[in-house]
Amino acid sequence: MAANMYRVGDCVYFETSSTSPYQIRRIEELNKTASGNVEAKVMCFYRRRDLPNPLIQLADKHQLAQSEDSPVAMKLKKICLKTPIGEEQAAQAVLDPALVAMEEESTELPGTDGLAPKQRHQAKHRELFLSRHVETLPATHIRGKCTVTLLNETESLLSYLNKDDAFFYCLVFDPSQKTLLADKGEIRVGSRYQTEVTNLLKEGEEEPRNSEDLETLVWTPEHGLTDRQIDQFLVVSRSVGTFARALDCSSSVKQPSLHMSAAAASRDITLFHAMDTLHKSGYSIEAALSSLVPASGPVLCRDEMEEWSASEANLFEEALDKYGKDFADIRQDFLPWKTLKNLVEYYYMWKTTDRYVQQKRVKAVEAESKLKQVYIPNYNKPNPALLASGAGCAGGKAAVLNGGTNATNGTPAPLPHLCASCQVTNSNQWYAWGPQHLQYRLCGSCWQYWKKYGGLKTAGVFGESEAEAVKGARDGDETALSASHRPHRCTVLNCAKEFKLRAHLARHVATAHGAGEGARPVMKTRAAFYLRASPFTRLARRLARALRRPRHYARNPFAPINLHQVKHDCTLAMAGAGAGAGAAGAGSAGAARARGPVGAVAARLAAAHGSAAPRAQDWLALTPRDRMPAPHHVAFPKPPKAPDGSLMYERVASRAEIEARRNEPAPAPPLKRRAYDDFNGLDSAGAGAGAGREAGAPPPAKRPNKHPAPMQRPSREQYAAMCARAQATGQPLPAHVFTHVNGKPTNLTGRGGRRHVISWMDAPDDLYFRATDIAKAGRRTLSSGELRRGARAPWRPMRGAGGAAGGAAGGALPAAAGKAAAGAPPLQLVILD
Amino acid sequence: MAMQPHSKKRVCYYYDSDIGNYYYGQGHPMKPHRIRMTHNLLLNYGLYRKMEIYRPHKATADEMTKFHSDDYIRFLRSIRPDNMTEYNKQMQRFNVGEDCPVFDGLYEFCQLSAGGSVAAAVKLNKQASEICINWGGGLHHAKKSEASGFCYVNDIVLGILELLKYHQRVLYIDIDVHHGDGVEEAFYTTDRVMTVSFHKYGEYFPGTGDLRDIGAGKGKYYAVNIPLRDGMDDESYESIFVPIISKVMETFQPSAVVLQCGADSLTGDRLGCFNLTVRGHGRCVELVKRFGLPFLLVGGGGYTIRNVSRCWTYETSVALGVEIANELPYNDYFEYFGPDFKLHISPSNMSNQNTPEYLEKIKNRLFENLRMLPHAPGVQVQAIPEDAVNDESEDEDKIDKDERLPQSEKDKRITGEGELSDSEDEGEGARRDNRSYRAPQRKRPRLDKDLAQHKDDANSEDTKDDVKSVSNMEEPKKDVPPNA
């Protein structure tokens, strides 16, 4: 019962959408509406996933700063972590070089020392960001209580993980300004803030001031009177007061009864006066008594309550009605003959009267619409995401998934029976999760976890970009995700530091290596990817009618493929109904006619047509440049033009640099191994490759193309040039140009649809294979079949990889993005769309 | 330090009958009227007759500028509601206007509140009383040149400055729900005043009071902050208050205590978020009183005024060592205390977000800090050489005052923890006395931010240098006896 009572001040879960996680709110007010419903005015807490990316980076940094008690931490406390929509701006937001330095030291999420990766992952779900944003929600959407506390550095995050529904926060998020603010003030140090501490007095030195100047004694307990005597005296003084009121004309009008006079004479002012009198008479009862009844008649002490006439009281009430408790105005307009002190004193006494109590009652009725608590029963209706048992598990239905760019993420499509989070196969309830066509499902407990904490229990499924994956999924579009989450590595010799943001790298290069200012902007091709053909893809290629035009699709990589149809076809075909379909497949794809070599065919054709002399064909003539068809998309836009009209290509390492690199020991492997670094066992079977390296000039593993940010985006002129070109040719601007509208970097992520675009700078490094003599020799030892297989599956170690031929087949392959090689489940269809 | 049994003490109480009539403004939660309500309760409970009652003088501008800056006090003295418009710029500078409005009699109000605390401190210095109470004081947010959080003049700092004339070390404890930032800031770099504040921390005024704020320069480890969360109840409050205060008393060994009894830590406070009852709040007074040190009690926050007056009435009775009935006596404001008209209040059923584990962790962290104090047992005092050997004052005199100080000299001035350490010849007993027999220190140079930040490095180097000079000085001494 008590669990379902929600009070003002409680932190609660609100369900505003059945599929997204609960929102966490703090109840500020509960109001009953005219219709009888209860509305809650709530203050918003934001989850990590609700924050723009750059702010999350800042939040991490702040946490880092907190974990050490460094001067940097102190600085961070002071600055407002302002930011930014674009990453570049994010970087600029933190201008302090000290911060940069600090950040270079570690890019690990702090405060998580000693936590297992899984716990670290889950801890992120427990972090909230306080905001001052207030909204009103119907109280019926409350789905339970939680606690949100300011993280104290003595606590380990574990203590939150071990408690259900426990969240913490460190920073305050301003959703309108997109800023993070440390919720902390500071004690300032300096002579303007501290006091000068008085010295101890020297011996013999005395306090110059007399107590008499500082204070007036009003009463002392050293009076020699008993409590009883004092009480008696008080009674006497009250009776004197009653008598005085009887004698006083104005009083007798106001207090017609003896009781009222006695009550008036019993007010505290009479008692205080009596005590003063006793003190002044040296605590002699007799002396005090006689001063109570001087020659002028019995002493009459009246406070404001009594002093005021009925009409004044009425005026006062009227004035209160009109001005509220603005006593200065009341005095000026209604009761100018009273002092402000009179008014204040009267006001506080008036509050004890019946008239005030009546007013208060009226107010109380008005306030009834404000509730202190509300009872919300447990919510039992099934969530629409709940899958009817067995529905989604229709046997054998393969999940045919995963578009090309998404493949870079290496997201393995889960098996139909697996929970997308914990891989459990048994659960009482299953919930559909993520974008519909992906058909992910979560088990009951993971679903609860998702709703409460806004993430999945394990990080593994979606890698580091899980939150974003979900974000993208929520918007129902598949986006390229992983690229922006790869650490950016410094390419300068002997450095190889990694950064979360490219801009940080840029700053690092600028500050640490002094490069930067003059560096040319770097142009790089768009994100490279490769298609990994699993047996199922190949199968699908044959089975699905939609895919029977491979050449068409190769020519039109932008043309969409109807995945549903492909899936449908495959299911049909694979469900065994497929004897016929299989035959058809075999018919179309299987029987290749032996046509002989091309030369023979040409000769045959020529003979058939009877034209021996080859003449110039129309189709052989070059199309004039202006009549060249323009593609709808420019996949590999030309590099921007420099102001002098030359194309700006990326800088190629000078010979000296290459020499130096060759002598440099292999850089420490990054924490997370990137799949595309590993070609045909090139790295792992290092012996052979190593031999090759020693013998000849090794291939430059990477072009030194990571260069400082400030120049990375097109300059105003370059941008103008691009626009002009686009306008002249009538083709749309390449997507990456949009990210720099008006020369100001914007980020598509920040705008409406949350589309995640990999900018060309984020694409992985291209990779060349430089064939040395040894490599060539090795290649010759391989059979052509092996070579071809190696080319198709660059991640697979060559059978002969131990030998000098290791990695030969990897040559000239473009670098592949993503981690597809890692742990893909065996049954998987990957289709490029 | 020995605890003394609950005992009767000479109690002085400061009150001016005008104080209740100052009015901060419509809708302002701070109501000086609560002090009058307390006073009337005290009279009708019969506690009034058991104390020395004083009407304090109005503190002069001279007295207030012992801490505050001259122009700030001048501003407070001249600003009135009717001339506010002429002071726009200054009002911003001194943060007067919003939380700290300009109201009629503002300056007088400050004078009375400060006058009470200063007079009380002088009283304690003269040993004319063991416990002094000024419910009109306790305005702990006021800064050197800035009003803050309904406070304009920091009577507590002024009182402590007064106490420092006779007491080598003064302890300040703050049980207001808000952090006692004004007092902490004022004494942030001194080791003669330790400030201990128990307060709600996190999304709460004034935003300071982090566990890691421990003081700076010489005052490092002399600021103790206990950040708490919503819903502190009597039991958990005592569970953290008792060990911390005992440890502080043991390590800091103050010779006078100032307790700020802000009553906004009570349950149901208009601005507070704790769940203390009058009894739990008063328990702190009782505990501090048991240490038997000269004791100044001041008011502070408290915005549900019926509970504030209940609380301070009860705490006066605790200071006096007198039991009072739960039935409230009739008084002018009796109706305020309905519907039950009882002295004690019951806690609400709000949840306590301070788990025992949380409090335990906070406590342990603070103990670690307190262990850094030079008095603390277990810290090797020998590691720091006696300063007597190294006569700093001589070098200092040679230095041209107008010149920038050489770094070595600056370093010397920063020396923090070591300086207060007792040398071996100073016995344990010496500390008991209120007066320290060390020669009065020269006026401490002002630390500015940079110096404070360099402090750590400077300190370590400094120590090394000292060690060298000590050995240099000692060698000739050793040589002397054979020659003689």
3-state secondary structure A146-202: EEEEECCCCCCCHHHHCCCCEEEEEEEEECCCCEEEECCCCCCCCCCCCCCCCCCCC
- Cβ neighbors of A776 (< 8 A, separation 6 or more) are A808
CB contact under 8 A, A189 and B449: yes
Compute the distance between CA of residue A266 and CA of residue A234 in angstroms, rounded to an integer. Answer: 9
Is the Cβ of B201 closer than 8 Å to some Cβ of chain A? yes
- The minimum CA-CA distance between B21 and chain A, rounded to whole Å, is 5
The predicted structure's pLDDT at residue B354: 93
Helix spans in A16-149 (H): 53-67, 71-78, 87-93, 97-105, 117-125
Q: Which has the higher per-residue pLDDT, B274 or A523? A: B274
Chain Cα centroid distance, residue A172: 12
Q: Interface pTM (ipTM) of the complex? A: 0.78
Is the Cβ of B50 closer than 8 Å to some Cβ of chain A? yes
Question: Do you find a cis peptide bond into B206, omega within 30 degrees of 0?
Answer: yes
CB contact under 8 A, B447 and A191: yes
Nearest to B225 by CA among B204, B246, B197: B197
User: What burial letters (b/e) apply to A427-458, b meaning 16+ CB within 10 Å?
Assistant: bebbbbbbbeebbbbbbebbbebbbbbbbbbb
CB contact under 8 A, A227 and B49: yes
Burial of A724 per CB tally in 10 Å (0-12, 13-18, 19+): exposed
Compute the distance between CA of residue B141 and CA of residue B151 in angstroms, rounded to an integer. Answer: 6
Q: Quick: pLDDT tens for A123-181.
A: 888 888 888 888 998 888 888 888 888 887 777 778 888 888 889 888 888 888 788 87
Least CB–CB distance from A198: residue in B44, B50, B164: B164
Residues of A in contact with B201 (CB under 8 A): 150
Is the Cβ of B174 closer than 8 Å to some Cβ of chain A? no
Is the Cβ of B436 closer than 8 Å to some Cβ of chain A? yes
pLDDT of B446 over the 60 cut: no
pLDDT of B470 over the 70 cut: no
For B230, name the nearest residue in chain A, comparing CA atoms only.
A149
CB contact under 8 A, A187 and B27: no
- The minimum CA-CA distance between B127 and chain A, rounded to whole Å, is 12
Compute the distance between CA of residue A271 and CA of residue A238 in angstroms, rounded to an integer. Answer: 7
Compute the distance between CA of residue A183 and CA of residue A149 in angstroms, rounded to an integer. Answer: 12
Q: Quick: pLDDT tens for A798-833.
A: 665 444 334 433 443 333 333 333 333 443 334 443
Kindly state the percentage of chain A with pLDDT values over 70.
Answer: 55
Residues of A in contact with B185 (CB under 8 A): 187-188, 193-194
**Number of C-beta neighbours around residue A730 at 10 A:** 7
Q: Which has the higher per-residue pLDDT, A390 or B374? A: B374
- Count helices and strands in chain B by DSSP H and E runs: 14, 8
Helix (H) or strand (E) run with residue B259 in it: strand B256-260
**Number of C-beta neighbours around residue A779 at 10 A:** 17
Is residue B402 very low, low, confident or very high in pLDDT (cuts 50, 70, 90)? low
The predicted structure's pLDDT at residue B192: 94
CB contact under 8 A, B20 and A345: yes
> Is B68 an active-site residue?
no
From the candidates B33, B39, B68, B141, give the one annotated as an active-site residue: B141
The predicted structure's pLDDT at residue A538: 76
State the average pLDDT for chain A: 68
Compute the distance between CA of residue A385 and CA of residue A390 in angstroms, rounded to an integer. Answer: 14
For B448, name the nearest residue in chain A, comparing CA atoms only.
A190
The predicted structure's pLDDT at residue A31: 86
The predicted structure's pLDDT at residue A452: 86
The region, left, alpha or beta by phi > 0 then psi within -120 to 50, assigned to residue A349 is alpha
Between CA A766 and CA A768, with CA A767 as vertex, the angle to 5 degrees is: 130
- Longest CA pairwise span in chain B (Å): 90
**Window A:253-312, CB contacts with B under 8 Å:** 266-269, 271-272, 275, 303, 305
Is the Cβ of B92 closer than 8 Å to some Cβ of chain A? no
Interface test with B, best of A149, A215, A340 (most B CBs within 10 A): A215
Compute the distance between CA of residue A331 and CA of residue A574 in angstroms, rounded to an integer. Answer: 93
Chain Cα centroid distance, residue B322: 26
- Count helices and strands in chain A by DSSP H and E runs: 32, 18
Are A10 and A145 contacting, i.e. CB atoms less than 8 angstroms apart?
yes
Q: Identify any residues that bridge with A830 across adjacent strands, giving them in sequence order.
A: A401
**Number of C-beta neighbours around residue A165 at 10 A:** 17
What is the Cα gyration radius of chain B? Answer: 24
Helix spans in A586-627 (H): 598-609
Q: Is B264 assigned to a binding site?
A: yes
Is the Cβ of A366 closer than 8 Å to some Cβ of chain B? no
**Window B:307-326, CB contacts with A under 8 Å:** none
Q: How far is CA A503 from CA A90, A718, B244, B258, in A?
A: 8, 20, 47, 53
Nearest to A20 by CA among A453, A515, A479, A513: A453
Three-state SS for A688-730 is HHHHHHHHCCCCCCCCCCCCCHHHCCCCHHHHHHHHHHHHHHC
Helix spans in B253-355 (H): 278-289, 305-320
Residues of A in contact with B20 (CB under 8 A): 344-345, 348
Taking the model in full, what pTM does it have? 0.61
For A357, name the nearest residue in chain B, comparing CA atoms only.
B335
CB contact under 8 A, A216 and B40: no
pLDDT of B165 over the 80 cut: yes
Question: Do you find a cis peptide bond into A84, omega within 30 degrees of 0?
Answer: yes
CB contact under 8 A, A200 and B17: no
* Beta-strand pair B170-174/B193-200: parallel
Chain Cα centroid distance, residue B58: 21
Residues of B in contact with A172 (CB under 8 A): 203
Residues in chain A with pLDDT values less than 70: 1-2, 62-115, 183, 388-417, 438, 459-532, 545-547, 576-593, 610-619, 631, 633-637, 639-640, 642-769, 798-833
Is the Cβ of A200 closer than 8 Å to some Cβ of chain B? yes
pLDDT of B455 over the 60 cut: no
Compute the distance between CA of residue A381 and CA of residue A171 in angstroms, rounded to an integer. Answer: 35
Are B161 and B41 contacting, i.e. CB atoms less than 8 angstroms apart?
no
Residues of B in contact with A328 (CB under 8 A): 81, 104
Count CB pairs under 8 A between chains A and B.
229
Helix spans in A391-492 (H): 404-407, 444-453, 466-474
- Cβ neighbors of A772 (< 8 A, separation 6 or more) are A692, A695, A696, A697
pLDDT of B450 over the 60 cut: no
Q: Which residue matches tokens 């209160």?
A: A320
Interface test with B, best of A149, A194, A356 (most B CBs within 10 A): A194
The region, left, alpha or beta by phi > 0 then psi within -120 to 50, assigned to residue A576 is left
Q: Is B456 assigned to a binding site?
A: no
Are B154 and B59 contacting, i.e. CB atoms less than 8 angstroms apart?
no
CB contact under 8 A, A351 and B336: yes
Compute the distance between CA of residue A39 and CA of residue A815 in angstroms, rounded to an integer. Answer: 56
Quick one: average pLDDT of B433-441?
40
The predicted structure's pLDDT at residue B18: 92
For A344, name the nearest residue in chain B, comparing CA atoms only.
B21
Between CA A125 and CA A15, with CA A39 as vertex, the angle to 5 degrees is: 30
Residues of B in contact with A303 (CB under 8 A): 332
Is the Cβ of A352 closer than 8 Å to some Cβ of chain B? yes
Are B164 and A198 contacting, i.e. CB atoms less than 8 angstroms apart?
yes
Q: Which has the higher per-residue pLDDT, A660 or B175? A: B175
The predicted structure's pLDDT at residue A742: 41
Q: Which residue matches tokens 């040409």?
A: A602
State the average pLDDT for chain B: 82
CB contact under 8 A, B53 and A219: yes
- The minimum CA-CA distance between B357 and chain A, rounded to whole Å, is 9
Is the Cβ of B210 closer than 8 Å to some Cβ of chain A? yes
Q: Quick: pLDDT tens for B307-365.
A: 999 999 999 999 999 999 999 999 999 999 988 999 999 999 888 999 999 999 999 99
pLDDT of B40 over the 70 cut: yes
- The minimum CA-CA distance between B441 and chain A, rounded to whole Å, is 7
CB contact under 8 A, B161 and A271: no
Compute the distance between CA of residue B274 and CA of residue B267 in angstroms, rounded to an integer. Answer: 6
- The minimum CA-CA distance between B473 and chain A, rounded to whole Å, is 30
DSSP B121-162: HHHHHTTS-SEEEETT---TT-BTTB-BTTBSS-HHHHHHHH
Residue type, A530: Y
- Cβ neighbors of B51 (< 8 A, separation 6 or more) are A219, A221, B11, B12, B13, B133, B316, B320
CB contact under 8 A, B54 and A216: yes
Are B230 and B272 contacting, i.e. CB atoms less than 8 angstroms apart?
no
CB contact under 8 A, B203 and A130: yes
Say how many residues make up chain A: 833
Residue type, A449: Y
Between CA A675 and CA A684, with CA A680 as vertex, the angle to 5 degrees is: 75
Kindly state the percentage of chain B with pLDDT values over 90.
Answer: 72
Residues of A in contact with B18 (CB under 8 A): 341
The DSSP code for B172 is E
Is the Cβ of B63 closer than 8 Å to some Cβ of chain A? no
**Window B:93-112, CB contacts with A under 8 Å:** 104-105
Are A61 and A76 contacting, i.e. CB atoms less than 8 angstroms apart?
yes
For A184, name the nearest residue in chain B, comparing CA atoms only.
B207
Residues of B in contact with A155 (CB under 8 A): 358, 361
Is the Cβ of B16 closer than 8 Å to some Cβ of chain A? no
Is residue B24 very low, low, confident or very high in pLDDT (cuts 50, 70, 90)? very high
CB contact under 8 A, A341 and B21: yes
DSSP A292-328: HS-TT-S-----HHHHS-HHHHHHHHHHHHHHTT-HH
